[in-house]
């Protein structure tokens, strides 16, 4: 999750994975040990995290992630496939959405 500034209320982009994409992420991630053990557990954490942010007055924007695109982006930017890169990727996607 990454914070994106707006004029009044903060906005956070939150990476969303389908079940297939999440399993791909588990296979390619440099830090699989920090990922939840199952897709269902990840969805639960995702929902709780978004709810907490929304209650704190922070708008969340669901950013669908295609793992193949993420892998290519990491290669182009010489980044490890880890949590920091995932956060940066989501931030970039949020910026793209805000430009359109």
pLDDT digits (tens, 9 = 90+) for 35-45: 999 999 999 99
Give per-residue pLDDT as tens, 73-100.
999 999 999 999 999 999 999 999 888 6
Residue 48 pLDDT > 80? yes
Q: What is the pTM of this model?
A: 0.85
Half-sphere exposure of 71 (CA within 13 A, CB side): 11
Domains of the chain by residue range: 2-99
Answer with the residue of higher pLDDT: 99 or 57: 57
Residue 91's closest CA among 54, 65, 53, 55?
Answer: 65
């Amino acid at each position: 999750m990454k914070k994106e500034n707006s004029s009044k209320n903060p906005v956070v982009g939150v990476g969303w994975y389908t079940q297939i994409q999440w399993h791909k992420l588990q296979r390619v991630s440099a830090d699989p040990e920090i990922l939840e053990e199952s897709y269902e557990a990840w969805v639960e954490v995702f929902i709780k995290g978004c709810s907490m942010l929304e209650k704190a007055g922070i708008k969340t924007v669901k950013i669908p992630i295609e793992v193949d695109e993420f892998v290519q982006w990491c290669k182009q930017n010489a980044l490890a496939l880890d949590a920091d890169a995932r956060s940066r990727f989501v931030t970039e996607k949020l910026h793209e959405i805000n430009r359109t």
